[in-house]
Structure 1
Amino acid sequence: MKSWVKYINDYKSYLKIERGLSVNSVTNYAFDMQKLTDYLTDNSINVSPVNITDDTLQQFIYDVSSQGLSARSRARLISGLKSFFNFLVFEDYRKDMPMELIEVPKIGRKLPDTLSTAEIDSLIAAINLSTAEGERNRAILETLYSCGLRVSELVTLRLSDLFFDEGFIKITGKGNKQRFVPIGSFTQKYIDLYTTTIRPHLNINKGHEDTLFLNRWGRGLTRAMVFTIIKQLAVKINLQKSISPHTFRHSFATHLLENGADLRSIQLMLGHESITTTEIYVHLDRKFLNIVLNKYHPRKN
């Protein structure tokens, strides 16, 4: 399998340098290839990326699918494999595209879960503010919801990214693309409270001096830590929804749309490369669309 390692490493470099994908995205693509190489090893199939056939790939997908892989996961796996073999063709490592006749299963678009403003208020109200972590957690949830951040963007947010006088924070998103997101005075207040009363008392580790949100040991939070904070609060208020940090991002976009914001503005704040990604939020309130039509269309009467 040595040849696979070489090609996969070249592919990862291509994804990172040429396509500008984030570390997480590159890792996910590499994971797809790891599934394939494990399958080949387990079945004693000795082929290289250059000479593997569409029959072998089709059998791999069939065998993996028979183990209970969902249509959505199967579609993601096929998409990852197509990306890899497209790369091989692009770089002239092979002449043909073995994934050409393999169809991606049709799946419905997964609609995001959202929280009502009352549910968000309840989650924040359940935070124990008598602890240092509580003050930090309130600032975290307010920032997630008020700015619509991805959890990866939140945990990498720095003190030097805060431009409160101008009313913005600088976000480094997917592919290291940067954008400025507006931040309201309400959220600024809770971040200021954390940075002036809690953060100065931490023994901050070297390399984390500029990291905004820290754990009790003075290091940056992980995405899993933020996920756990939110899950525990959901249990505490007996919230009958499966939520994650991303739920706050969905709720941010949904509530903006429901209150009259245009999709282009929401797209810029979320950092979506394409507005079609943002359009997923349109489904969430059909009554809102009727209001927009009746308010703005010249033939509304």
Structure 2
Amino acid sequence: MWESSIKGFAGYLQLERSLSPNSVEAYLRDIQKLTSYLELEGKKMAPHQLTLKDLQGFIRFVAELGLEPTTQSRLISGIKGFYKYLLTEQLIKADPTTLLEAPKTRRKLPDVLSFEEIEAMIAAIDLSKPEGHRNKAMLEVLYSCGLRVSELVGLRKSWLFLETGFIRVIGKGDKERLVPIGREAMHYLKIYEQGQRRVGVIQPGYEDFVFLNRRGKPLTRVMVFLIIKDLAKAAGIKKNISPHTLRHSFATHLVEGGADLRAVQEMLGHESITTTEIYTHLDKQFLKSTLERFHPAFK
């Protein structure tokens, strides 16, 4: 039912609304995101079976990934256009999108950085300072892998599998996952490891931690926060920036680039969107190829 409806919608956009191929493709990507979400939720429902509640769940899902309000509005517009077509063609009896709006949250979603802004922050790092290469490796890893700050400061050397392009991450609830890591991040991790970290002081018991402060102990979350803030200021970025901003940017850039929602969800370590029974353990090579296709830093 979805396939025939989407095919008919594409024809409607081309012939009756005279939209350009790029605009048609954008509409179809929005519907594809909806069907991917339904698959994640285990909802085997045809378009006419979806309710307002189902669609609101989808919008909450993309909001939790950190997509900007403008992107959410575009998604809603695309879905509304799809159901308007179904109603026009009498393929549905009622339009579930009539009351569909972007979720009203009490706290503003974190700002999302563009790829150019992230590059500007990395370029603002003073590599002549002792901590320069550490900070560069740290930012590359945060953005390349979409890590939480707690996952970054807890990262161990023994969890780096750079020869295969993955790192092991321990997330919330001690849940373990393997995340692909980009070439740039691997490159600067090696520079940091072979340079500053090797010659610096390392306190007993902390030898396996990747990111250390000048006293030889693991970086704290507060320290990472302050480093990110200072770099954003040095790069002339006015947005409200935190380490989590890089995680949201990671997810946003992948989703807006067309990456599979299941892959993004697993790389982020999110399990709240779907039940354990439905949760799909994806092939690690698939995750890696998703990043290589859709993440700007991997290209």
Unmatched runs of 5 consecutive residues or more in structure 1: 1-105, 277-301
1:107 CA drift (Å):
5.5
Matched, 1:108 2:112: no
What TM-score does the superposition give when structure 1 sets the normalisation length? Answer: 0.55
Q: Which amino acid aligns with 1:175?
A: G
Aligned 8 A contact 1:203 1:218 in 2: yes
Q: Deviations over 1:22-77 (max 9, x none)?
A: xxxxxxxxxxxxxxxxxxxxxxxxxxxxxxxxxxxxxxxxxxxxxxxxxxxxxxxx
Map 1:226-241 to 2 at 5 A: 226-241=224-239
The alignment partner of 1:250 has SS state of helix
Which of 148, 160, 169 is the aligned partner of 1:150? 148
Aligned mates of 1:114, 1:237 — CA distance in 2: 15
Task: Choose the corresponding residue for 2:170, options 138, 156, 172.
Answer: 172
Q: Confirm or deny: 8 A CA contact 2:110 2:240 kept in the other structure.
A: no
In the alignment, what sits opposite 1:188? Answer: 186
Structure 1: distance between partners of 2:129 and 2:187: 18
Give the whole-Å Cα distance in 1 for the aligned partners of 2:154 and 2:205: 12
Contact 1:264 1:275 in 2 (8 A): no
Give the CA RMSD over aligned residues.
1.4
Matched position secondary structure for 1:206 = coil
- Separation in structure 1 between the aligned mates of residue 246 and residue 197 of structure 2, nearest angstrom: 24
Q: Which has the higher contact order (CA 8 A, sep 6+)?
A: 2
The normalised TM-score by structure 2 is: 0.55
**Structure 1 residues 258-269: aligned runs within 5 Å:** 258-269=256-267
What's the CA shift for 1:238?
2.2
Which whole-Å CA distance do the structure 2 matches of 1:206 and 1:107 have between them? Answer: 49
Task: Kindly state the Cα deviation for residue 262 of structure 1 after the two structures are TM-superposed.
Answer: 1.0
Q: Distance in 2 between matches of 1:112 and 1:204?
A: 35
Q: Is the CA contact 1:151–1:246 (under 8 Å) kept in the aligned structure 2?
A: yes
Give the alignment of 1:206-245 within 5 angstroms.
Answer: 206-245=204-243
Flag the structure with larger Rg: 1
Report the 3-state secondary structure (helix = DSSP H, G, I; strand = E; otherwise coil) of the residue aligned with 2:147.
coil
Deviation at 1:166, TM superposition (A): 1.5
Q: CA separation in 1, counterparts of 2:109 and 2:228?
A: 20
Letter in 2 for 1:245: P
Identity percentage of aligned residues: 60
Contact 1:149 1:249 in 2 (8 A): yes
Query: Moved runs in structure 1, 4+ residues, more than 3 A?
Result: none
Cα contact 1:151–1:223 (8 A) shared by 2: yes
Distance 1:184 1:230 in 2: 20
